[in-house]
Amino acid sequence: MNSPPVPPLQDEGHPDEPSRRLLWISGLGAFGLVAFAWMSGEINIGGFFGADRARNLERFLTEDAIPFPLRESGFTWSGLWTWVGGQWNAAGAEATMTTLWIAVASMALAGAGALLVAPWVARTISTQEPFLQSGPIGIGWIWASRIARLICILARALPEYILAFLWVAVLPGSAWPAVLALAMHNGGILGRLFGETLENLERRPLQALRTLGGSRGQITALAAVPVALPRFLLYFFYRFETCVREATVLGMLGIVSLGYQIQDARSRHAYDDMLLLVGFGVMLVLLADLTSHGVRIWLRREAPR
């Protein structure tokens, strides 16, 4: 008895011809768009390497970037640390701590708001019979979920800088415009992520609790959220390290933080002070990144497999 012919196996690791053609077309298209942007825009590549640019860079590195007290006396480590300490005590410490406070306060509000809106985003919860695969959905619940998702989309679609600019007109002279702007933007991002995490949880344990008589709120608060909490925290700390960088930038709107002090130093042409304040911001961001990275590693290690 003759066995049917076996079709030849495709070479593993190599996509078929249509897929490779699509990759080539996409790559060439992207290259063409980049070339078009450079050639048709107002970017003057030749001017970037002009003689004036070279002289400005040389002056910046040899004069402007050198701390003012060390320009005449010469470089010494003791003189450098004395200058750094003086700048830290004068403005750096307060601006750095204000920046950190803005990031922490905004993420606390964003996390709380995301936890409140996430159950409405999750379509397995925002339905007439939550956690059950069958049953009436309910037109009201459908619209509630859509509105919650729309709120998250709008909150994260508006740039933080624009939101802070609007809040400055309402709450001038304080750090609250930056806090509220970052809280709204990050709350929209976290609300969508938290909602999708709840929606993608394993349904069978939650269905069992529902059939035993558990209410929507009881199952969500006592079962779904605790199970999803490690994933929630991963998203939260990822956004936190981003929020620290954004809090620095928003200070340029007039909010007394590192961004404000950097803008002030630039307006005074004190580029040595400006570079030092930028360094304070870099150290703060690195500290936030290391903290977030350590927490996320610990959460992955402790998460059930």
What are the tokens at 253?
């709107």
CATH of the domain at 242: 1.10.3720.10
Residue 22 belongs to a domain: no
CA distance 200 to 196: 6
CA distances from 220 to 94, 145, 225 (A): 41, 15, 6
Domain count, the chain: 1
Given a cut of 50, the residues of the chain with pLDDT beneath it are 1, 6, 9-13
Residue 129 belongs to a domain: yes
Whole-number pLDDT of residue 3:
52
Residue 153 belongs to a domain: yes
Residue 17 belongs to a domain: no
Residue 68 belongs to a domain: no
**Domain housing 121:** 82-302
Residue 252 belongs to a domain: yes
Whole-number pLDDT of residue 140:
81
Whole-number pLDDT of residue 253:
77
Residue 186 belongs to a domain: yes
Residue 50 belongs to a domain: no
Instruction: Identify residue 19 by its one-letter amino acid code.
Output: S
pTM as predicted: 0.76
DSSP assignment of 264-305 equals HHHHTT-HHHHHHHHHHHHHHHHHHHHHHHHHHHHHHHHS--
CA distance 123 to 266: 50
